Amino acid sequence: MDKSISANGETTADGSIRGYDSLHQLLSSNLKPELYQEVSRLLLGSNCGRSLEQIVLPDSAKALSSKHDFDLQAVSFSADKEQMRKPRVVRVGLVQNSIALPTTAPFSDQKRGIFEKLKPIIHAAGVAGVNILCLQEAWTMPFAFCTREKKWCEFAEPIDGESTKFLQELAKKYNMVIVSPILERDMDHGEVLWNTAVIIGNNGKIIGKHRKNHIPRVGDFNESTYYMEGDTGHPVFETVFGKIAVNICYGRHHPLNWLAFGLNGAEIVFNPSATVGELSEPMWPIEARNAAIANSYFVGSINRVGTEVFPNAFTSGDGKPQHNDFGHFYGSSYFSAPDASCTPSLSRCRDGLMISDMDLNLCRQYKDKWGFRMTARYEVYADLLDKYIKPEFKPQVVSDPMLHKNSS
């Protein structure tokens, strides 16, 4: 076997296999076709009993990908044909990218550079007919929240700030809903900061916002230096193309967070993230896919790309020596469906645009098939949670009497 293969054909420095797609690619070149099909079914699932189909994109989108060197993939999810409902097909896109300039460059230049880098990718989504596009977490800036330096707060902006105005024009031009995760400065409440996703409608108007519910305190991810847990609950935004929600980054580790968006009626939940290989890569192909299955909706998972090096070294109280970067943001953005199928992921090392056609009828079809909502015991869970949050809570543990007898 050729062990120099990495995600989407890239080669790692040490010649090792890295990334979920690497394994898929390696197997495809070394297994008999019939065995490969079975392995593929287990790795990526099957959609309505079939492999996912590739979408033929316009030459103009492919030309932008070639000229600006970003990974471009397009895959279609289907649903069973129904007698009383027409298909509800929506085209959805995910953007992953690295920063444009070193973190030592003037902040205004860094921000402008990212805008310029994303323009051709968003244009490619537009000419490809994408209806809903989601960008990565804190896309307007380097992910500086490891440093705990307050100077990075300068990147924060109000909901109707520079980045929103930039995207409003593109949303209107391409009749496209855009989800824009930013560092928000709340001008109405003492200019405090939030990690926020702004939802821009296809007419260029702001539909609403959601603030990140769960803030990590893991290793270098000391984000509560900048913002705290959000106050917007679990909103679902009804757009002309379907009902969408945004589970920002660390929220993907909390099953009840996923559940709440589903209970509010989401059909597509985006998970814009910034996470590094050493910390989370084994979890990445699993959590969102599991959420799509458990909650009968589609999930779009986005991770940024590259290694962002900061001018001042920092530590995280974990005994490791001081360092100037988080590690490698491994990209690998992908879609998951309610039927357990998922797309291959984007590159681990390059900017990229993942496009998927999805028939939203699949959401109800899998609610009917598996009956998770019908068979759930919400009243039992609610009773436990009501007891758990009280100071006098005691876990429901039934011990073998002989345990205590033997210990005495």
In a domain, 258, yes or no: yes
In a domain, 378, yes or no: no
Nearest-CA neighbor of 131 among 304, 267, 290? Answer: 267
In a domain, 270, yes or no: yes
39 and 177 share a domain? no
The single residue of 111, 137, 209, 342 carrying the catalytic annotation is 137
23 and 97 share a domain? no
In a domain, 327, yes or no: yes
Mean pLDDT value across residues 359-382? 97
Contact 292, 299 (CB under 8 A): yes
| Domain span at 288 | 54-370
In a domain, 4, yes or no: no
160 and 298 share a domain? yes
Catalytic: 137? yes
The reported pTM is 0.92
The single residue of 111, 209, 212, 243 carrying the catalytic annotation is 212
Contact 344, 73 (CB under 8 A): yes
How does the average pLDDT of the chain come out, rounded?
92
36 and 93 share a domain? no
180 and 31 share a domain? no
Mean pLDDT value across residues 234-244? 98
Contact 258, 297 (CB under 8 A): no
The single residue of 134, 146, 249, 342 carrying the catalytic annotation is 249
188 and 158 share a domain? yes
Spatial distance between the Cα atoms of 68 and 318, rounded to a whole number of angstroms: 39
60 and 126 share a domain? yes
Catalytic: 212? yes
Type of residue at 347: S
18 and 142 share a domain? no
The string of pLDDT tens digits covering residues 317-369 is: 778 899 999 899 999 999 999 999 999 999 999 999 999 999 999 999 999 99
* pLDDT given at position 5: 30
| Sequence-distant (≥ 6) Cβ neighbours of residue 361 within 8 angstroms | 79, 80, 82, 85, 87, 88
Catalytic: 249? yes
Burial class (CB in 10 A: 0-12, 13-18, 19+), 254: middle
The string of pLDDT tens digits covering residues 169-197 is: 999 999 999 999 999 999 999 999 999 99
40 and 160 share a domain? no
In a domain, 93, yes or no: yes
76 and 171 share a domain? yes
In a domain, 126, yes or no: yes
**Which phi and psi angles does 335 have, rounded to 5°?**
-110, 145
In a domain, 331, yes or no: yes
Burial class (CB in 10 A: 0-12, 13-18, 19+), 50: exposed
3-state secondary structure of 102: coil
Q: Which domain CATH number covers 63?
A: 3.60.110.10
Spatial distance between the Cα atoms of 306 and 102, rounded to a whole number of angstroms: 12
